[in-house]
Structure 1
Amino acid sequence: MPNLKTVAEQVGVSISTVSNAYNKPDQLSSELRSRIFEAAAELGYAGPDAAARTLRSGKSWTIGLLMTERLSYGFSDPYAVQFLAGLTTACEARQIGVLLLPVVEDGSGNLRHPAIDAFATFGLDSDHPAARAFLDRNVPFVGGTRLDDPKTSWVAIDEAAASARIGQHLSRLGHRNVAVVVSANCSSSYQRSEFAGPEDLADLNSSARFAGLSAAMPEANLQVFNSAPNSVDAGRLAGETLLDQQNRPTAIICLADVQALGVLEAMKVRGLAPGKDVSLTGFDDIPAAAAAGLTTVHQPAFERGRLTGELLIDQERTDRQITLDTQLVVRSSTGPAPKPL
């Protein structure tokens, strides 16, 4: 019966080299791996038994991604799609699987059992009960929020500094009557379309973004509108309310591009010109933002996902706290504040 030894003898290499072809592909050249796989196919060797490999190594060869949304959100939200593409690119290069774990409202107890080697989160912090269930088992974790603790691992952006650039840009354009569209809860089962109260501001998913924005616009009157979930439809509903006010804001800031695209729809219905009648900004710079002429903050979603995957896989990597650059991308949706009539 063919095994690692017979394949090694056929190719003229060591048993460990054949093992690395399957388990540590980055350590071999593509030419040598091809020779090994061709010999294995000729001998009828299908590769190491996955179950036996897991028992020997104590590894599942799988990483987990905790999500606050239904799994379908990961394949429909443009930012999530880019992040997942980067994450899976890093994992498939090492033949590592990715397990998506949706977090339901109650959050605790039901995610203790999946066998994963490391995990990251999308849309929730490490203090969430579902994340704690894995942390209590000492499962390695890579977060998406910058933390001061030197023992933590994360790939993040400076959220406050990024949003401050939006505030500074609009302030230079003379905007003082400004509405900010936020989401106090991004669960797809949670829906809100109303002006935010103090309790909502204490539960923002993008608290750092809002803080940076507020600090950059001390002279502005900021109306805060709570709109959830994070979708184009929710943004359109927010836009309808804000644009129909008697004292309409001269600028609307959305802390996510998808909601800004919804506000654009509401503006179009009302015959309002972005950047002339009302300025509008987003955050993320998803592919649709450029086509819509949306001023926004660009953050490298694919690279963020890819680096998260690399840190999850390579626990020996030394640079474990990575801050990625962002930039303000100014397009036609912003312009000088209209002069009072």
Structure 2
Amino acid sequence: METVSVVHWWGRAHTHPGTQYRPVMPRSSQPRRQATLASLAAELKVSRTTVSNAYNRPDQLSAELRARVLEAAKRRGYPGPDPVARSLRTRKAGAVGLLLTEALSYSFRDPAAMSFLAGLSESCEEAGEGLLLVPAGPGRDDVDAAAVVQQAGVDGFVVYSVADNDPHLAAVVERRLPMVVCDQPRQIAGASLVGIDDRGAMRELAEHMISLGHTEIGVLCMRLGRDARNGPADAERLRSPDFPVQRERIAGVQDALIAAGLDPQSLTVVESSEHTTGAGHAAAERALAINPRTTALVCTTDVLALGALEFARWRGIDVPAELSVTGFDGVPEALRVGLTTVQQPAEEKGRRAGALLLRPSHSGIATVEMLDTELLRGRTSAPPRTWPRGPAE
């Protein structure tokens, strides 16, 4: 017996000999409905709360029951509870906002910021919370800053070392969410603070340099105001900076000079608008041009100090025989080259900031935590030579 197949062509049936007949079953025009929390609960004969707990509170279910729920969800294509609906219901976004008023790339390039971010991420991970980096880079006006902050879906903010008068900070305060400040500013009502004694730590370092015999000292610092300036900072600029941390570190050097009977006005301070080794290189060159008798460059960050070391190598200046260089932070590269510096616990700062914001018993009462620092006497500081170096070329 000959077998045939049937081919439909423009509504007419045609047969071809020698092939098996296979009828074509019509496909349903209705797509398969995706499972919902309710339909999944009905299929498994459990409550909707049980299905929800499999995702949000797994500790409430036995391992076997949770595995059964997740397996059925996978089989039915159920993606889990809608996070948007959950946030509307619980009024919780499940994320912490980190406000940095530098460009976002700064947090992945600056070694101290990277360490802080690592510590904060660890606290968020332990609490099961996300971390949102708020894109609050420079150049935005008050309206743009407010829009960026208002659109951030977060339950609270960690503010990392911003200027006193930054518009993003004002927008954060207006949201009235829990807030923890790291380093600066330090006068936000109701906000907890994690920081260090910047002034005391820098005074200890400056006293060490003075004890070695240095009296002609230059300071290389980060920017003192929101505007970009590069060059010497005069007395007026030093009195009213927007960034208290830089002000306090410079004041620590001045305190040490006063305690030693030296004139704090003799201090050469050079400000850099960018925080890079290139900026430290340029600032060191400016400082020695202003005062060729300088025997020590005290830098308010390790990054600037590493730039100053680059300048010294470029100019053929022996460190520390002809020029001592110190930093502040204790970043890995500074430790590798043996920089004399102040080591601060940047990662622990982030960890503690996250813990203060996310602690379950958060009561809204502001807490201040001041962490310890350590003076590291490295290979880049030594007593000055008894003769002055010639003028900078």
TM-score grouping bracket, smaller chain normalisation: 0.7 to 0.9
1:124 and 1:36, CA in 2 relative to 1: closer, same or farther beyond 3 A? farther
CA-atom RMSD in angstroms: 3.1
Q: Is the 8 A contact 1:242 1:248 kept in 2?
A: no
| Map of 2:4 onto structure 1 | none
Confirm or deny that 1:88 pairs with 2:121.
yes
Which structure has the higher relative contact order (CA within 8 Å, separation 6+)? Answer: 1
* Identity rate, percent: 35
SS of the residue 2:89 aligns to: helix
1:324 and 2:371 matched: yes
Q: What is aligned with 2:67? A: 38
Amino acid at match of 2:68: A
Residue 226 (structure 1) shift: 1.3
Q: Specify the SS of the correspondent of 1:135.
A: helix
Closer, same or farther: CA 58–143 of 1 in aligned 2, 3 Å: same
Amino acid at match of 2:142: S
**What SS does the aligned partner of 2:375 have?**
strand
Paired position in structure 1 for 2:217: 178
CA distance in 2, matches of 1:250, 1:132: 42
Q: 1:218-237 residue pairs with structure 2 within 5 A?
A: 218=258, 219-220=261-262, 221-237=266-282
How has the CA–CA distance of structure 1 residues 142 and 35 changed in structure 2, closer, same or farther, with 3 Å as cutoff?
farther
* 3-state secondary structure, aligned to 2:267: strand
1:64 and 2:109 matched: no
Q: Any gaps of 5 or more consecutive residues in structure 2?
A: 1-34, 389-393
Instruction: Determine which of 70, 76, 90 is the counterpart of 2:109.
Output: 76
Which residue does 1:105 correspond to in 2?
Answer: 139
| Aligned twin of 1:249 | 294
1:148: how far off? 7.3
Q: Which residue of 1 aligns with 2:169?
A: 131
The number of residues matched between the two structures is 334
In structure 2, what is the Cα distance between the partners aligned to 1:260 and 1:87? Answer: 26
SS of 1:93's partner is helix
2:248 maps to which of 208, 211, 222: 208
Residue 196 (1) aligns with residue 233 (2)? yes
Q: After TM superposition, where is structure 1 displaced by more than 6 Å over at least 4 residues in a row?
A: 4-7, 14-18
Cα distance in 1 for residues equivalent to 2:38 and 2:368: 39
Could you say which residue in structure 2 is the equivalent of 1:283? Answer: 328
| Alpha-carbon distance in structure 2 between the residues aligned to 1:288 and 1:34 | 46
Deviation of 1:46 (Å): 3.7
Identify the match of residue 315 of structure 2 among 270, 273, 276. Answer: 270
Contact 2:221–2:304 (CA under 8 A) maintained in structure 1: no
Displacement after TM superposition at 1:214 (Å): 1.2
Which whole-Å CA distance do the structure 2 matches of 1:175 and 1:34 have between them?
67
The 3-state SS of whatever aligns with 1:116 is coil
Once structures 1 and 2 are overlaid, which stretch shifts more, 63-72 or 103-112?
A: 103-112
Partner of 2:199: 160
Is the 1:61–1:116 Cα contact (8 Å) retained in structure 2? yes
Q: Helix, strand or coil for the counterpart of 2:175?
A: coil
- 1:33 and 1:262 map into 2 onto residues whose CA distance is 58
Q: Secondary structure at the match of 2:138?
A: coil
Q: Report the residue type matching 1:42 in the other structure.
A: E
Q: Report the alpha carbon displacement of residue 48 of structure 1 after superposing the two structures with TM.
A: 2.4
Moved more, 90-99 or 71-80: 90-99
Which stretch shows the higher mean deviation, 298-307 or 136-145? 136-145
How high is the TM-score relative to the length of structure 2? 0.75
C-alpha displacement of 1:243: 3.4
Q: Are 2:156 and 1:118 aligned?
A: yes
